[in-house]
Homo-oligomer: A and B are copies of this chain.
Amino acid sequence: MTSSPQRALPHPDRLLPAGPPELDIARELYGQVAGLPLVSPHGHVDAAVLARDEPFPDPAALLVSPDHYVTRLLHTQGVPLEQLGVPARGARGTGAPLEAEAPPQPAPREVWRLLCRYWPVFRGTAMRLWLEHELAELFGINQPLTEQTADQTYDQVTACLERPDMRPRALFHRFGLEVLATTNSPLEDLAAHRALQDDPAWDGQVVPTFRPDVLIEPGETRQWNDLLDQLGRVSGIDTGSYRGYIAALEGRRAAFQALGATATDHGHFSVEACALSEPEASRLYDRLRLGRRQPGDEEAFRSHMLMEMARMSADDGLVMQLHPGVWRNHDTAAHARFGPDIGADFPVATNFTASLHQLLDRFGSHPGFRAVAFTVDETVFSRELAPMASYYPALWLGAPWWFLDAPSAMTRFWSAVTETAGFSKLAGFVDDTRAYCSIPARHDVARRAYCSFLSRLVAEHRLGQPDARDLAVDFSYRSPKAAFRLG
């Protein structure tokens, strides 16, 4: 028997193969990459957390309430999101709390108790692996959470949070973060990024990422006009015309690049990309601005603008991240109450071969262009992504993402793509997280799973051990830097 009820968590060999010869090989590979710096090219941590460098308020606010991976699973047990500290927003979706409606926020200790009570629900999930890692590494908690130990562990975490070495900047170094990319609207002034860059006491690398989805995907007319007017103000370029709109987007891209951005990010329902002529695009833009929409106009504009984004990337070198195929805000009542990003976004079937035909035909071999494709539809791994990435120089394979960034799912991805595309087009791992403290745990899980994957190839003589060593370092450190043109 390899485990006992009293074992300390997490096990040092977790996620490595069960026995020799794979275990020996995987241990050696993992030993080589476990301590490498972290490169986080895609995520959702707020740069202001680092700019302000204030202590984290409490265990629930750190580990539960803002992390939809965690609240989602508690919600399956019938726990209302309110009770987990997910903030309700104003009725008009302004994000402002709605005093009249909003129940009093639960006490953080009560939220923590719910996490402890429903801890068995996390068995076998990636979330459990991450949280166990965090609890052990940051807070010295090496036993499963239970209702009995809820208060004690709450107090233990609380005590830690008061220490100076638990502040965001201290953790940045403790985590070994070499670079952290955030995700930002072109409308943001990036004040926090600027503050960090101007702060002589700060030596970390935090870079913004240009995510223009709401600006290139026409929503309801008044709302979209508001956004484009804001774009005009923040860029200083009149967006009354299509030409001005394009120039304003180019201007914001340049501003992002000046603060270190190396990538854009595009999360539309589809990556269908098809260019219009400039006069057609200009007329379409005018129609959309005036609210005189015809059927298909929204799709045609988004599709055209994805081609424009690719054209700009070929010009300015920002790496284009593409991750289609998610039905957002599926639970409309919860969306009205809590806003987006609460765990109610679900994948649908998607495709790349057909949708990206024009884009890759035009830019797939362009030396300045690079696209990194993510998806939550596993069917395209071997069918579309690997074949295309094994031909077009510009297309890289993004990490298995979101619901798929767990050990078995990642292993399926690597197995599905490497036989066709080899390892040279893998972009490494992206943590894609809002939960700052989960970053090292997520990278650690990915590195362990990857070393296990390689160890099996070595043990079956499909790969030499020196090659595996090289590939483990590529994945953990060199590939994400290369793929995202970081440093």
Contact B393 A383 (CB under 8 A): no
A272 to chain B minimum Cβ distance, whole angstroms, is 14
Contact flag A391-B123 (CB < 8 Å), given A347-B353, A379-B349, A465-B1? no
Instruction: Judge whether A185 is part of the interface by a CB distance below 8 angstroms.
Output: no
Which residues of chain A from 346 to 400 have a CB within 8 Å of any chain B CB? 346-349, 351, 353-354, 357, 360-361, 364-365, 367, 376-379, 382-384, 386-393
Name A395's closest neighbour in chain B (CB-CB): B76
Contact B120 A347 (CB under 8 A): no
Contact B331 A360 (CB under 8 A): yes
Q: Which of B11, B347, B422, B459 contacts A2 (CB 8 A)?
A: B459
Contact flag A378-B389 (CB < 8 Å), given A125-B422, A467-B123? no
A25 to B19, CA, bound (A): 13
Most buried by B among A22, A122, A331, A419: A419
- Give the segment of A45-53, A106-114, A194-202, A406-414 that binds chain B: A406-414
Contact flag A24-B11 (CB < 8 Å), given A344-B391, A353-B348? no
A334 to B361, CA, bound (A): 9
Contact A348 B384 (CB under 8 A): yes
* Chain B residues near A18 (CB-CB < 8 A): 21-22, 456, 459-460
Contact A403 B418 (CB under 8 A): no
* Chain B residues near A408 (CB-CB < 8 A): 415-416, 419
Q: Which of B15, B388, B415, B421 contacts A462 (CB 8 A)?
A: B15
Instruction: Judge whether A150 is part of the interface by a CB distance below 8 angstroms.
Output: no
A14 to B458, CA, bound (A): 9
A467 to B128, CA, bound (A): 13
Contact B392 A124 (CB under 8 A): no
Instruction: Judge whether A333 is part of the interface by a CB distance below 8 angstroms.
Output: yes
A5 to B468, CA, bound (A): 11
A77 to B389, CA, bound (A): 11
Contact B419 A120 (CB under 8 A): no
Contact B348 A383 (CB under 8 A): yes
Q: Which of B124, B346, B377 contacts A457 (CB 8 A)?
A: B124
A96 to B382, CA, bound (A): 35
Instruction: Judge whether A463 is part of the interface by a CB distance below 8 angstroms.
Output: yes
Instruction: Judge whether A461 is part of the interface by a CB distance below 8 angstroms.
Output: yes
Question: Size class of A's contact patch?
Answer: 35 or more
* Chain B residues near A144 (CB-CB < 8 A): 464
Contact flag A346-B465 (CB < 8 Å), given A76-B425, A331-B365? no
Which residues of chain A from 1 to 49 have a CB within 8 Å of any chain B CB? 1-5, 7, 10-11, 13-22, 24-25, 28
Instruction: Judge whether A146 is part of the interface by a CB distance below 8 angstroms.
Output: no
A467 to B119, CA, bound (A): 12
Contact B464 A5 (CB under 8 A): yes
A108 to chain B minimum Cβ distance, whole angstroms, is 23
A129 to B423, CA, bound (A): 15
A487 to B425, CA, bound (A): 44
Chain A 153-170 per-residue mask, 1 if CB under 8 angstroms from chain B, else 0: 000000000000000000
* Chain B residues near A452 (CB-CB < 8 A): 460
Instruction: Judge whether A131 is part of the interface by a CB distance below 8 angstroms.
Output: no
Contact flag A406-B391 (CB < 8 Å), given A1-B25, A2-B461, A10-B461? no
* Chain B residues near A346 (CB-CB < 8 A): 353, 384, 387-388, 391
A388 to B463, CA, bound (A): 37
* Chain B residues near A353 (CB-CB < 8 A): 327, 330, 346-348
A50 to B310, CA, bound (A): 48
A-B contact pairs, 14 of them (CB 8 A): A7-B464, A78-B367, A123-B422, A123-B463, A124-B419, A124-B423, A144-B464, A331-B360, A331-B365, A346-B353, A348-B354, A348-B383, A349-B349, A349-B383
The 8 lowest CB-CB distance pairs between A and B, nearest first, are: A18-B459, A406-B419, A11-B461, A14-B461, A3-B465, A124-B418, A346-B353, A347-B383
Q: Which residues of chain A have a CB within 8 Å of any CB of chain B?
A: 1-5, 7, 10-11, 13-22, 24-25, 28, 72-73, 75-78, 120-126, 129, 144, 327, 330-334, 343-344, 346-349, 351, 353-354, 357, 360-361, 364-365, 367, 376-379, 382-384, 386-393, 403-404, 406-409, 415-416, 418-425, 452, 456-467, 470-471
Known: A76-B421, A331-B392. 10 other contacts (CB 8 A): A3-B461, A3-B465, A5-B464, A14-B461, A19-B459, A72-B391, A120-B467, A347-B383, A348-B351, A408-B416
